[in-house]
Structure 1
């Protein structure tokens, strides 16, 4: 099993295998979505703390280390590294989209200068790497990212981060609609549960993106050498 056959939904059962992916570093960006401190702080409620422990374990043991490796390789090979984070401009959050104002788990009030809105230290942006602040799920819809990518000649976007079934998926769909080639790195993403993660990857694969492992993605970049 590999990226050409994994995560096939009903729509793509039996479909021909896609062509090999080659990512020219000069036309490729790595986008890290919403890997922010707030999501890794255990709840004071013991029930919620236990419910979310598998997510935190995946983030700390798998996702963040793999993203860090991909970020390092991207910097070395000249791939533009970008970040998106949920962060509102107004302290009371009036500028947030409706999806972030609704009551419940998805209610997010993360002022841009708050510690909770920070990108985790392991993935600290360097130099002039662009950090987009968004008040929407899609990083493309809620920022000037579309214009920036076009201005920089980016055609391919590697997407990693959280949550697979929410902001990652929304961003991927928006990028696909704007005709960017998208690769989602499955072991660099997480949802609240592994089931939600796997289900969403199956939904978006082959139509909005190609889903691959971090090792396979590094191979797509290496294919341009020689």
Structure 2
């Protein structure tokens, strides 16, 4: 097969671009719901960062993607069984368990799926490891995968690296991601930046709107 010369920041292609929102769930984003961080108040860095920056920026991306015909997928940490027996060993040991009926497992209202947008429950840090995301993206004809969400240094990191290894041109929207500290966020971006195009919400939003103009033309 001939090698296709391109760049990580190559222009998005109409009909071949998807937005993946990673773990933008109530349990992580609404103060008081995460049992592992019951001591974090609303003014904790992570909640301020997600409330004031990451969630609003993800909403901008979502609105632009929907307006331009970009495929939208959401992934959440949620077990398939009520007792969590289907979880990965790592999630059992941690432990992390959100049952299929847990309302706090759903995305926050601002980022909730609409229409027939795909919602993928996963039971590992890596969405490619515990869902059929790769199969779905290939069926959808996706070449460009735009990633945003939480945590930058955990589930976002794995989505970026694994997506790149599977042959997608990955964009990570840095200011639509967040981690529990600015240091963790910055270190993660530096560590996996070689696997993707690191971009900002402004630039990606403009690119989505350009696709909308192509659709209208």
TM-score (norm 1): 0.84
- Corresponding residue for residue 97 of structure 2: 109
- Corresponding residue for residue 75 of structure 1: 66
How far 1:218 sits from its partner (Å)? Answer: 2.1
Checking the alignment, whether the CA contact within 8 Å between 1:21 and 1:220 is kept in structure 2 is: no
Q: Which moved more, 1:37-46 or 1:215-224?
A: 37-46
* C-alpha spacing 1:202/1:52, structure 2 compared with 1 (3 Å): farther
The reply to whether residue 204 of structure 1 matches residue 195 of structure 2 is: no
* C-alpha spacing 1:79/1:50, structure 2 compared with 1 (3 Å): same
Checking the alignment, whether the CA contact within 8 Å between 2:25 and 2:104 is kept in structure 1 is: yes
- Corresponding residue for residue 200 of structure 2: 213
In structure 2, list runs of 5 or more residues that go unmatched.
1-6
* C-alpha spacing 1:19/1:63, structure 2 compared with 1 (3 Å): closer
How does 1:1-40 map onto structure 2 within 5 Å?
A: 20-40=9-29
Checking the alignment, whether the CA contact within 8 Å between 1:155 and 1:180 is kept in structure 2 is: yes
Q: Which moved more, 1:39-48 or 1:123-132?
A: 39-48
Checking the alignment, whether the CA contact within 8 Å between 1:32 and 1:82 is kept in structure 2 is: yes
TM-score (norm 2): 0.87
In structure 1, list runs of 5 or more residues that go unmatched.
1-17
How does 1:82-97 map onto structure 2 within 5 Å?
A: 82-97=73-88
The reply to whether residue 184 of structure 1 matches residue 172 of structure 2 is: yes
Q: 1:162 aligns with which of 150, 158, 165?
A: 150
